[in-house]
C-alpha cells in the first residue's frame, strides 16, 4: 500500500506536466512506465485478469513484427517500439487507478481542458506582442502541427487544434455529467462557477473551429438540457429548433465545409486502397505515411479515421480487434448500467462514445497527450469493472471513487 502511495505522486506530477510542459510530461510518464513489462513477466498472476486492451496491444505488436519479411526494417522497428511504449503506459495507467480516486482524475481532466482554453488565448496574445523562441513554444505546446491554415485556431498546449478539441470535449462531457447529477465531489463548491467553466470549455471548442467537435458539443449540450429540463421538454425543443437555424451562420469554416469533406473522403478512399495493398499484415503504423506518399504523391501522416488507420497499419486482424474492443466495451457498459446503476458509469457512458465519435473523423490517437488521457479513462473503466459485486445486483453500491 505504501509503495502505491509513493508512485501516485510522481504519476500525478507527470499528468500536470503533460498539460503545462507536454514534452516533459510525456517523457516523465514514459520513464515511470519503463519497468511495467518486467513486472508483468515477474508476476503474471497479478495481471491475469480480463484485459482485452493489453491483449489487443500484444496482437498489434505480433502483426507488426511479422512485417519484417517485407524488409521495411525502420518502420517495423519504430512501430514495435511505439507499441511497446504504449503497452507500458497502459499498464502504468491501470496500476495508478488502483490508488488514485476517480474524482481526482476527473478534476484533472477538466482542469486540463480549461488550461488549454486559457493558454490558447494567452499564447495568441503573447505571439502578437513578441516572438517566442521555437524551443520555448515547443516546450509549452504552442507550436502548431498541421497546415498553416490552422494557425488562427485555438490549440493551447495541445500542438494541434483537433487534438485540443478532443480533450476539450472529454472535459466538457465529464463536467456536464457531474452537473446533471448529484455528486459527492463537485468540481467547485460554487454552482455558478461550474457553469461558467462549462461556458469557457464551449468557447474553447468553438475556437478550435473543428466542425466535428462543434457538432458533438451541440449533441452533448442538447442531451444535458433534456436531462435537466425533463418537465419542460416541449419548450426546450422549440428553443433548440429555433437556435439550430442560427447555428449555420456562426458555424466555423462553413465556407470550406464541402471542400474539406471532399478532401477527407479522398484521404479515406486512398487509405482504404493502402489497406487493400496489404490486407493481412498492414503496412505498420510508421509505414503508412510512406506508403500513402508512394500511392498518391501527397504526404498524409494518418488516415483521419481510427478504424481505417488500424486496418491500413495492422491489417484485418487489427481492424477486427478494434471492432471487438468497441463492441465488448459497449456491451459491458450497457450490462453494468442496467444491473448496478453505479454513479461512475455515467461518466464512462458519456466520455467513451465521445472518444469513438471524434475518432471516426480524425485519428487523434497520434497525439501522446490525447492517447494518455484516453488510456487513463479506459483504465478507470477497467478498475470499475474489477469492483464486481459479490451480492445481488440491486444491493450493490459502488463507492464514488
Candidates 287, 356, 390; CA nearest to 67 is: 287
- Name the DSSP class of 392: -
Q: Using 50, 70 and 90 to split pLDDT, how confident is the model at 91?
A: very high
CA–CA separation, 370 and 249 (whole Å):
30
Model pLDDT for residues 39-54, shown as the tens digit of each residue: 777 766 655 557 889 9
Higher per-residue pLDDT: 19 or 4: 19
Tell me which residue of 84, 123, 89 sits closest to 15, measured CA to CA.
89
Q: What percent of the chain has pLDDT over 90?
A: 45
Query: What phi and psi values does residue 253 have, to the nearest 5 degrees?
Result: 55, 35
Residues 325, 359: contact at Cβ < 8 Å? no
Among residues of the chain, what percentage have pLDDT more than 70?
88
pLDDT in tens, 373-392: 999 999 998 888 877 654 34
- DSSP 8-state symbol, 25: H
DSSP codes joined into one string, 134-188 = HHHHHHHT-S--S-GGGGGS--TTSSSHHHHHHHHHHHHHHHHHHHTS--SS-SS
CA distance 292 to 313: 11
Q: Residue 315: name the closest of 67, 38, 105 by CA.
A: 67
Residue 88 has pLDDT above 70, yes or no: yes
Q: What are phi and psi of 297, to 5 degrees?
A: 80, 5
Quote the CA–CA distance of 337 and 345 in Å, as a whole number.
7
Cβ 163 vs Cβ 370: under 8 Å: yes
Backbone φ and ψ for 392, nearest 5 degrees, come out as: -60, 155
The CA–CA distances, whole Å, from 84 to 27, 37, 317 equal: 15, 9, 18
Residue corresponding to grid cell 499564447: 123
Contacts of 24 (CB under 8 A, 6+ apart): 17, 139
Query: What would the grid cell of residue 101 be?
Result: 480516486
Q: For 137-177, what is each residue's pLDDT tens digit?
A: 999 999 988 777 677 899 999 999 999 999 999 999 999 99
| Res. 7 pLDDT band, cuts 50 70 90 | low
Q: What is the mean pLDDT of residues 5-25?
A: 86
Q: What stretches of 21-72 show up as alpha helix (H) in DSSP?
A: 22-32, 36-42, 52-66
pLDDT the model gives residue 181: 79
Does the pTM of the predicted model rise above 0.85? yes
| 8 A C-beta contact, residue 212 and residue 358 | yes
The two most distant CA atoms of the chain are separated, in Å, by 65
Interval 15-23 mean pLDDT: 95
CA pair distance 227, 294, nearest whole angstrom: 51
Q: Are 172 and 113 in contact (CB under 8 A)?
A: yes
Q: E-strand spans in 188-327?
A: none
Residue 329 exposure: Cα atoms within 13 Å on the Cβ side: 25
Amino acid at each position: 500500500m505504501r509503495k502505491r502511495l509513493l508512485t501516485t505522486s510522481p504519476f500525478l506530477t507527470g499528468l500536470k506536466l503533460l498539460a503545462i510542459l507536454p514534452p516533459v510530461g510525456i517523457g516523465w510518464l514514459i520513464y515511470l512506465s519503463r519497468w511495467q513489462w518486467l513486472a508483468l513477466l515477474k508476476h503474471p498472476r497479478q495481471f491475469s485478469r480480463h484485459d482485452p486492451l493489453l491483449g489487443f496491444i500484444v496482437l498489434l505488436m505480433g502483426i507488426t513484427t511479422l512485417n519484417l519479411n517485407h524488409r521495411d526494417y525502420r518502420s517495423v522497428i519504430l512501430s514495435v517500439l511505439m507499441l511497446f511504449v504504449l503497452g507500458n503506459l497502459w499498464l502504468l495507467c491501470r496500476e495508478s487507478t488502483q490508488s488514485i480516486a476517480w474524482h481526482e482524475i476527473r478534476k484533472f481532466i477538466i482542469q486540463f481542458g480549461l488550461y488549454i482554453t486559457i493558454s490558447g488565448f494567452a499564447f495568441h496574445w503573447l505571439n502578437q506582442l513578441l516572438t517566442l523562441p521555437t524551443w520555448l513554444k515547443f516546450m509549452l505546446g504552442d507550436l502548431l502541427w498541421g497546415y498553416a491554415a490552422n494557425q488562427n485556431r485555438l490549440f493551447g498546449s495541445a500542438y494541434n487544434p483537433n487534438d485540443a478539441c478532443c480533450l476539450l470535449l472529454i472535459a466538457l462531457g465529464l463536467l456536464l455529467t457531474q452537473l446533471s447529477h448529484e455528486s459527492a465531489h463537485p468540481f467547485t463548491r460554487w454552482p455558478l462557477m461550474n457553469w461558467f467553466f462549462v461556458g469557457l470549455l464551449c468557447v474553447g471548442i468553438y475556437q478550435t473551429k473543428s466542425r466535428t467537435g462543434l457538432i458533438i458539443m451541440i449533441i452533448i449540450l442538447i442531451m444535458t438540457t433534456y436531462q435537466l429540463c425533463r418537465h419542460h421538454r416541449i419548450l426546450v425543443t422549440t428553443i433548440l429548433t429555433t437556435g439550430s437555424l442560427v447555428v449555420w451562420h456562426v458555424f466555423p469554416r462553413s465556407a470550406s465545409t464541402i471542400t474539406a469533406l471532399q478532401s477527407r473522403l479522398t484521404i479515406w478512399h486512398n487509405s482504404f486502397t493502402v489497406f487493400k495493398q496489404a490486407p493481412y499484415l498492414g503496412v505498420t503504423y510508421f509505414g503508412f505515411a510512406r506508403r500513402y506518399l508512394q500511392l498518391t504523391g501527397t504526404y498524409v501522416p494518418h488516415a483521419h479515421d481510427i478504424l481505417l488507420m488500424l486496418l491500413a497499419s495492422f491489417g484485418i486482424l487489427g481492424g477486427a480487434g478494434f471492432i471487438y474492443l468497441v463492441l465488448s466495451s459497449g456491451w459491458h457498459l450497457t450490462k453494468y448500467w442496467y444491473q448496478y446503476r453505479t454513479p461512475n458509469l455515467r461518466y464512462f457512458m458519456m466520455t467513451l462514445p465521445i472518444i469513438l465519435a471524434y475518432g471516426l473523423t480524425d485519428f487523434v490517437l497520434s497525439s501522446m497527450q490525447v492517447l494518455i488521457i484516453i488510456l487513463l479513462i479506459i483504465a478507470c473503466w477497467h478498475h470499475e469493472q474489477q469492483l464486481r459485486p459479490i451480492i445481488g445486483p440491486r444491493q450493490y453500491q459502488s463507492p464514488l471513487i
